[in-house]
């Protein structure tokens, strides 16, 4: 009987939707999405959205984003945001942030945060922290952290650490770990390393690595690498590399080169570079330079330098100067100095 009632309910809901009832259209969209019939779900959500249902605007945008129609998705997130829908505001802000439009992102995170939406409160705090506006960031992060948002706990800990309040920072990171966010093990491990407690750092990294957290895996590998436990370090790097981490791939290249296998080193560096590792570009340049292929070396150094990498700029400048291109060398040296100065003045 319940199954028959459900069929009758869907029948009448579909009739209502076909008759122009916006609420019924939205419910049909949800029902079709849950059933996996995404094309029909999109059709119903679109009709409900065009009928003014703001939640359907956001739901439609989600479906569009999932199938790669990002421009149209952003337009519907914008419509939902203008209609006052918090999730529309949040996702619009995320879209703007991905495109580097940080002021627009901050505006919509702020609008959503003022509705009380916790993910938006956490995101606003994070964005402000990344801009160095820690006094503004802290109350937002604290509000989200106290409500149980683990990302906010981690960001709040970073604000507190930078202010010299290491004990409170650790408490928040431990709370995040206890809530299941293994990213906090990296913060706790790094703090232990700064305090000269490598054993504690290793324990935190192992906890994160055992749970599959990629950054913790790489940091554990680095710690083992530095103290000479190369076989275990390599095993952890391989684990992270299989998960697509470019830093692990670069470090596997370093291990290979240190044992004299430049072919394997180059293969790992190239794979890392394909995944976005800038240090791998510079390392490929050093390999080419070592085999006296100076033209190829210069190409790799130039690619690294063009990303804003200081080591790439310095290596490129050295090569340019050695072949007599003194003016261009000075230009790259000046750029490297400018980048270093900017970093020294950042929070």
Please give the pLDDT value at position 2: 52
pLDDT in tens, 64-81: 999 999 999 999 999 999
For 166-202, the pLDDT digits (tens) are 999 999 999 999 999 999 999 999 999 999 999 999 9
**Predicted structure pTM score:** 0.84
Angstrom distance (rounded) from CA 285 to CA 344: 27
Residue partners of 158: CB distance under 8 A and separation at least 6: 129, 169, 187
47: helix, coil or strand?
helix
Q: What is the mean pLDDT of residues 34-40?
A: 94
Beta strands in 105-255 (DSSP E): none
pLDDT reported for residue 14:
83
Residues sharing a CB contact under 8 Å with residue 127, sequence separation 6 or more, in sequence order? 97, 102, 105, 106, 109
Non-local (6+) Cβ contacts of 59 within 8 A are 26, 29, 30, 33, 45, 49
Assess whether pLDDT exceeds 70 at residue 342.
Answer: no
* d(C-alpha 181, C-alpha 151), whole Å: 8
Per-residue confidence band for 17, with pLDDT thresholds at 50, 70 and 90:
confident
Nearest to 117 by CA among 128, 127, 108, 130: 108
For 127, 128, 231, the CA distances from 164, given in Å and listed in that order, are: 21, 19, 37
Residue 84 has pLDDT above 50, yes or no: yes
DSSP 53: -
Q: Lowest-pLDDT range, 74-78, 83-87, 194-198, 335-339?
A: 335-339
Architecture of the CATH domain 46-67+77-141: Alpha Horseshoe (1.25)
Q: What are phi and psi of 92, to 5 degrees?
A: -65, -45
Residue 113's nearest CA partner among 141, 83, 154 is 141
Q: Is the CB of residue 112 less than 8 Å from the CB of residue 120? A: yes
On whether the CB atoms of residues 38 and 65 are closer than 8 A, the answer is no
Average confidence score pLDDT of the chain:
93
> Is 80 exceeded by the pLDDT of residue 207?
yes
* φ, ψ for residue 131, nearest 5 deg: -85, 0
- Residue 232 φ then ψ, to 5°: -70, -40
Domain ranges (residues) in the chain: 46-67+77-141, 180-229
């Amino acid at each position: 009987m319940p199954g028959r009632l459900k069929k009758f309910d869907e029948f009448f809901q579909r009739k209502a939707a076909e008759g122009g009832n916006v609420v019924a259209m939205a419910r049909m969209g949800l029902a079709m999405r849950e059933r996996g019939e995404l094309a029909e779900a999109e059709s119903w959500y679109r009709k409900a959205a065009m009928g003014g249902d703001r939640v359907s605007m956001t739901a439609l945008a989600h479906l569009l984003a999932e199938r790669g129609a990002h421009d149209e998705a952003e337009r519907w997130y914008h419509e939902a945001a203008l209609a006052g829908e918090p999730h529309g505001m949040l996702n619009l802000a995320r879209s703007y942030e991905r495109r580097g439009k940080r002021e627009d992102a901050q505006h919509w995170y702020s609008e959503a945060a003022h509705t009380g939406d916790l993910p938006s409160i956490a995101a606003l705090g994070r964005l402000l922290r990344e801009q160095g506006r820690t006094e503004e960031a802290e109350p937002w992060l604290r509000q989200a952290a106290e409500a149980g948002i683990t990302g906010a706990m981690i960001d709040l800990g970073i604000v507190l650490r930078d202010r010299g309040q290491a004990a409170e920072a650790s408490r928040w990171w431990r709370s995040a770990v206890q809530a299941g966010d293994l990213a906090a093990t990296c913060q706790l491990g790094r703090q232990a390393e700064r305090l000269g407690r490598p054993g504690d750092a290793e324990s935190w990294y192992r906890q994160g690595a055992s749970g599959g957290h990629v950054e913790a895996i790489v940091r554990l590998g680095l710690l083992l690498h530095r103290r000479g436990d190369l076989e275990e370090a390599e095993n952890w790097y391989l684990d992270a590399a299989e998960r697509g981490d470019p830093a692990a791939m670069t470090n596997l290249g370093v291990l290979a080169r240190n044992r004299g296998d430049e072919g394997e080193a180059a293969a790992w560096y190239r794979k890392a570079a394909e995944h976005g590792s800038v240090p791998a570009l510079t390392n490929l340049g050093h390999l080419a330079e070592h085999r006296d292929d100076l033209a190829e070396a210069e190409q790799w150094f130039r690619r690294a330098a063009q990303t804003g990498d200081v080591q790439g700029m310095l290596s490129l400048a050295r090569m340019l100067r050695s072949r007599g291109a003194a003016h261009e060398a000075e230009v790259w040296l000046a750029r490297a100095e400018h980048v270093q100065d900017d970093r020294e003045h950042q929070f």
